A and B are shown apart, each in its own frame.
Chain A
Amino acid sequence: MGKPMTEQTQTPETQSSPSSDVGKSDIIRVEGMHKWYGDFHVLQDLNLTVRHGERIVICGPSGSGKSTFIRCINRLEEHQQGKIIVDDVELTDDVRQIDSVRREVGMVFQHFNLFPHLTVLENCCLSPIWVRKTPRKEAEATAMEYLERVKIPDQANKFPGQLSGGQQQRVAIARALCMKPKIMLFDEPTSALDPEMIKEVLDVMIELAGSGMTMLCVTHEMGFAKTVADRVIFMDGGEIVEEAPPHDFFTNPQEPRTQKFLKQILQH
């Protein structure tokens, strides 16, 4: 696994953060973040620091707020209290700041959300052409590169409706990568897939992790967490309950809620 060379400058914060890894600077900082849906307190006092190239898996029972949490990181959901700083830009109500964060953060959704009226290639080129103002030829060349990386260059001129679920999800990953993002967010990328298609998507994600991409994945794929993650975060009831490297997390969970959750999902 190639870890990228990053700047040597260290802020005092990186050194003081719990599982500090020397030589890496923060790319995401979440401080004391709260979110409410009306009276319902969905996210409670979340704190998280993610360094360049770090791979984080977020798991937890359904309704624990893990999807809402990563959707806050590119402001698909608003937080009401606390701070979220992504790549030195704080997420506020300012649309320019929101747009500049979204340009650097790619996202892959549970239901793919490919644009059905555009071909696979057009899906991949849309944002580079309109947002990055890349010449069409260059955008298409980049898109083909990424489509090759996710192993479906031959489907470039088909429409999303003509592809299988696994193929669609791989296109969605390629589409996000075409913006050359610094961070990739995965919101349960394999939950809507048939079992035989899960592997092809996970393979692409593992390959991506190997290339040094900063990744935040909400997933129930514990095998993926074990092989790829630097840290596993367990959420329940809108709180971060436990945060540990995968080996410690799976073999020696500290909190009773984590133990109960792991027992339930690892039973079979």
Chain B
Amino acid sequence: MKKQTFDSKPAGPKPWYDPRVRAIFFQVVAIALVFWGGWVLIDNTLSNMESRGISTGFGFLDESAGFGIIMSLVPYDATMSYGRTFWVGLTNTLLVSAMGVVTATILGFIIGVARLSSNWLVAKVSLAYIEVIRNIPLLLQIFFWYFAVLSSLPSPRQSVDVGGAFFLNNRGLYVPEPVTQDGFGLVWGGVFAAIAAVIGIRIWAKRRQLATGAIFPTFKVGVGVLVLVPVMSYLLAGQPLEWDLPALKGFNFGGGISIIPELAALWIALSLYTASFIAEIVRSGILSVSKGQTEASKALGLPNGLTLRLVVIPQAMRVIIPPLTSQYLNLVKNSSLATAIGYPDLVAVFMGTTLNQTGQAVEVVAITMAVYLTISLLISLFMNIYNRAVAIKER
């Protein structure tokens, strides 16, 4: 070894005292451990499956399933493949999740605002709702709605009958199904024309406000156009719509659209449960906007409604969005509790029945997990894009 010479660089520490060298060393060790662990896991699984004679691969997806599913959005019968059961499960999961997200959001925002109401009764009722609902396990609530509420409804023969069109019984809720006749295209045309007109009015009103300062009642006129134009085109086209009414046939109802109690129970429970969390998020978002902001807005002469719309809500949204995203993710993942009451979601149909019949545990579990991961990442992505749009610039 050469003796250290004096040059312009300060003498470095010995490599094992240099934090950078240490960091690289530990990272290499960590990566090596992860790969080794993964390899052991895969090798072990493969050799075990081989010794028990389990075939691997995704060939099972083309085999005939041979079991029925009580509800499917895509055409399905028992002769179809396991691949088809996957789609049935996936669409059912997406259906209940989408319905839940919409209702939980609406309900959550209403309750969150009500919680801040100056009306004592409204505020306390919201508080009671939040504290009761969010502190009872979701599974219990799903059972409550399914077994205690919906199962105790009358049998189909004693259905609750609303005007001979809506029927409620322990097999579900039956509503009339609209069947379009010839000439309904005109009504669709009317709907699209109305939407286009409203967008046009909005743009025109905005331009006019920028140019002259006059504020046009866009909302009221918009609602009027959206209702009147389709109704008029419907009448003009000779009312080309008929209703397929549900009717009792034998022991059950036929015709119309039915909402099965499994879906209803899961939807109600998921919505109410998630709404209680969203309400707290909304409340904290609104409270996070300092009182000075409201005061400054009022001092400038802005009335309460405009203060809320132009000053408070835009600032509250940036606080609300990130935790709201995780509530949406929770709702989607919680929808897998469907299994408990037999709603045919992805977990019940695919990871339940399909897995039991095929025994392809590794493949089925991997597919199911990948699906939930994909849905969650997509929701996060869209919410992040939205969040970036409403974020506040500083420095």
| Contact, CB under 8 Å: A102 / B212 | no
Residues of the A chain whose Cβ atoms lie less than 8 Å from the Cβ of B11: none
Contact B300 A179 (CB under 8 A): yes
What's the nearest-Cβ distance from chain B to residue A221, in Å? 21
Residues of A contacting B314 with CB < 8 Å? 117
Decide if A159 touches B393 in the complex (CB within 8 Å): yes
Are A175 and B210 in contact, with the CB atoms below 8 A? no
Given contacts A76-B299, A130-B310, A162-B395, contact A111 B292 (CB under 8 A): yes
- Kindly state the separation between the CA atoms of A9 and B225 in the bound complex, as whole angstroms: 54
- By size class, the interface of chain B is 20 to 34
Proximity string of chain A (95-121) to chain B, C-beta cutoff 8 Å, 1 when within and 0 when not: 100010011011101010111110000
A74 x B299 contact (CB < 8 A): yes
- Residue in contact with B302 in the complex, picked from A74, A76, A109, A127, CB distance below 8 Å: A127
In the bound assembly, the distance between CA atoms of A107 and B258 in angstroms comes to 60
Q: Is B22 an interface residue (CB 8 A)?
A: no
A137 touches B302 (CB 8 A): no
What is the CB-to-nearest-CB distance from B215 to chain A, in angstroms, rounded to a whole number? 6
Q: Give CA–CA (A162, B394) in the complex, Å.
A: 6
Inter-chain contacts of B298 with A (CB < 8 A): 74, 76, 102
- The smallest beta-carbon distance between B110 and chain A, in angstroms, is 24
Interface: A22 (CB within 8 A):
no
Query: Which chain A residues (115-162) contact chain B, with CB distance < 8 Å?
Result: 115-117, 126-127, 129-139, 159, 161-162
Assembly CA distance A24 to B337 (angstroms)? 77
Inter-subunit contact A116/B303 (CB<8 Å): no
Tell me the residues in window 192-217 of chain B with beta carbons closer than 8 Å to chain A beta carbons: 209-215
Number of A-B pairs, beta carbon distance below 8 Å: 90
- Cβ–Cβ contact B392 & A99, under 8 A: no
Cβ-defined contact, B393 with A126, below 8 A: no
CB-CB nearest in chain A for B293: A113
Contact of A76 among B212, B295, B301 (CB under 8 A): B295
Instruction: Say yes or no: B302 contacts A130, CB within 8 Å.
Output: yes
Whether the pair A135, B299 counts as a contact (CB closer than 8 A) is no
Q: CB distance B392 to A113 under 8 Å?
A: no
The answer to whether the Cβ of A218 comes within 8 Å of any Cβ in the partner chain is: no
Q: A111 vs B300: C-alpha distance in the bound complex, in angstroms? A: 16
A73 and B394 alpha carbons, distance in the complex (Å)? 33
Nearest-CB residue, chain A, relative to B211: A135
CB–CB A116/B301 < 8 A: no
Contact status B301-A114, CB under 8 Å: no
CB neighbours of B297 from chain A (8 A):
115
Question: Which A residues lie within 8 Å of B209 (CB)?
Answer: 129, 136
Residues of A within 8 A of B159 (CB): none
Please state if B315 and A102 are interface contacts (CB–CB under 8 Å). no
Determine if B300 and A129 form an interchain contact, defined as CB atoms under 8 angstroms apart: no
Which B residue sits closest to A185, measured CB to CB?
B299
Whether, in the assembled complex, B373 has its beta carbon less than 8 Å from a beta carbon of chain A, the answer is no
Is A176 on the interface with B (CB-CB < 8 A)? yes
Interface residues of A, CB < 8 Å — how many?
A: 36
Chain B residues lying within 8 Å of A135, measured Cβ to Cβ, are 210-213
Q: Please determine whether B211 and A126 come into contact, CB atoms closer than 8 angstroms.
A: no
B306 contacts the other chain (CB 8 A): yes
Q: CB distance A116 to B392 under 8 Å?
A: yes
**CB-based nearest B residue for A77:** B295
- B residues in contact with A109, CB < 8 Å: 292, 295-296, 299
- In the complex, A114 Cα to B201 Cα: how many Å? 32
B295 surroundings in chain A (CB, below 8 A): 76, 109, 113
Docked-complex contact B392 and A133, CB < 8 angstroms: no
- Smallest CB separation, A6 vs chain B (Å): 23
* A130 lies within 8 A of B306 (CB): yes
- A131 near B392 (CB under 8 angstroms)? no
Closest residue of chain A to B309, judged by CB? A130
Q: Mark B21-57, 1 if CB is under 8 A from A, else 0.
A: 0000000000000000000000000000000000000
Neighbouring B residues of A115 by C-beta, 8 Å = 293, 296-297, 311, 315
- A159 to chain B: which residues have CB within 8 Å? 392-394
Asked whether A102 and B299 contact (CB < 8 A) given A132-B213, A136-B210, the answer is yes
List B contacts of A114 (CB < 8 A): 296
**Chain B minimum-CB-distance residue to A158:** B393
Which residues of chain A have a CB within 8 Å of any CB of chain B? 74, 76, 95, 99, 102-103, 105-107, 109, 111, 113-117, 126-127, 129-139, 159, 161-162, 172, 175-176, 179
Give 6 pairs: A residue, B residue, CB < 8 Å, sorted on A: A111-B292, A115-B296, A131-B306, A135-B211, A161-B395, A175-B300
**Extra 10 A-B pairs, beta carbons < 8 Å, given A76-B298, A116-B392, A127-B302:** A109-B299, A115-B296, A129-B213, A133-B214, A134-B213, A135-B212, A135-B213, A137-B211, A159-B394, A162-B395
Nearest 9 Cβ contacts at the A-B interface: A161-B394, A113-B296, A127-B300, A103-B301, A107-B299, A113-B292, A133-B213, A136-B210, A102-B301
